[in-house]
């Protein structure tokens, strides 16, 4: 079934990210300049699921896991320092913090699946891998009880849902390998979107309309190397919008 979507898909990974960035820009313009125009915020609900899925795909293909995490976490830390000093000590954690925790949880999931599928691993190794993954999820939940993190616990878990059926590079049985399918990855993400919407309510339910867009994903990265643009786009567009708001 996933082959059907891939055959008729028209969006590569870069296309998904550009759309997500555009929806985010619309959302923040609505939030900062036109709070009474709800349609702008509704359109913005499409951004987070698209970025979450793209993050999952990034973890799927990245060659240097540590560098990938440190890049996102470093930008998150820098943004939090700026927010703290320029927003009266506000400790609200941005979406980059959310995605930093998502990346760690996905890598813990990958390690868990690797250990469970490795015939050379003994029961102790497998038990430790499962414990590590469970402990990572518990830490995510605990952090959400202490800090106000953008999109909360289910926001952290959303990219993890999209990674549940990722068995790339894992010595999994053929049956599990067949589950590594675009349709199932999008379906798992849909479950995460519903849980996120139930947690926040309101217009968050409109995030489900990101699913038809993801159905057009062709599974390809795209020819342009735009990875760093998207990491920079989040803080940069907020600075620009805030500057315009101050001028007005």
Contact 14, 222 (CB under 8 A): yes
If pLDDT is split at 50, 70 and 90, which confidence band does 173 have?
confident
pLDDT of residue 88: 65
From CA 48, how far away is CA 24, in angstroms rounded? 8
pLDDT of residue 89: 63
Backbone angles phi, psi at 100, to 5 degrees: -60, -45
From CA 71, how far away is CA 157, in angstroms rounded? 19
Contact 53, 219 (CB under 8 A): no
Tell me if residue 72 falls in helix, strand or coil: helix
The residue with greater pLDDT, 61 or 241, is: 241
From CA 189, how far away is CA 53, in angstroms rounded? 8
Contact 172, 113 (CB under 8 A): yes
pLDDT of residue 229: 77
Phi-psi region of 121 (alpha: psi -120 to 50; beta: other; left: phi over 0): beta
- Reported pTM: 0.90
Nearest residue to 13 via CA among 62, 64, 67, 50: 50
Tell me if residue 64 falls in helix, strand or coil: coil
The residue with greater pLDDT, 122 or 99, is: 99
| Residues 6 or more apart whose Cβ sits within 8 Å of residue 133 | 105, 108, 109, 111, 112
Alpha-carbon torsion 194, 145, 143, 110, what sign?
negative
């Amino acid at each position: 079934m996933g082959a059907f979507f891939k055959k008729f898909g028209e969006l590569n990974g870069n296309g998904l990210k550009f759309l997500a960035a555009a929806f985010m820009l619309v959302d923040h313009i609505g939030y900062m300049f036109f709070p009474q125009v709800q349609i702008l915020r509704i359109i913005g609900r499409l951004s987070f699921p698209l970025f979450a899925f793209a993050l999952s795909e990034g973890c799927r293909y990245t060659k240097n896991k540590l560098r990938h995490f440190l890049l996102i976490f470093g930008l998150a830390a820098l943004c939090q320092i700026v927010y703290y000093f320029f927003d009266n000590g506000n400790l609200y954690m941005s979406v980059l913090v959310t995605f930093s925790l998502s990346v760690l949880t996905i890598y813990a999931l990958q390690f868990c699946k690797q250990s469970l599928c490795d015939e050379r691993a003994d029961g102790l190794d497998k038990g430790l891998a499962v414990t590590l993954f469970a402990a990572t999820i518990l830490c995510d939940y605990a952090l959400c009880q202490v800090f106000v993190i953008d999109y909360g616990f289910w926001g952290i878990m959303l990219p993890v849902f999209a990674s549940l059926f990722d068995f790339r590079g894992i010595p999994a049985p053929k049956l599990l390998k067949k589950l590594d399918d675009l349709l199932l990855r999008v379906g798992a993400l849909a479950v995460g979107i519903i849980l996120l919407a139930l947690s926040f309510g309101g217009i968050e339910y409109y995030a489900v309309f990101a699913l038809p867009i993801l159905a057009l994903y062709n599974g390809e990265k795209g020819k342009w190397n735009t990875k760093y643009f998207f990491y920079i786009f989040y803080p940069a567009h907020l600075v620009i919008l805030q500057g315009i708001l101050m001028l007005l």
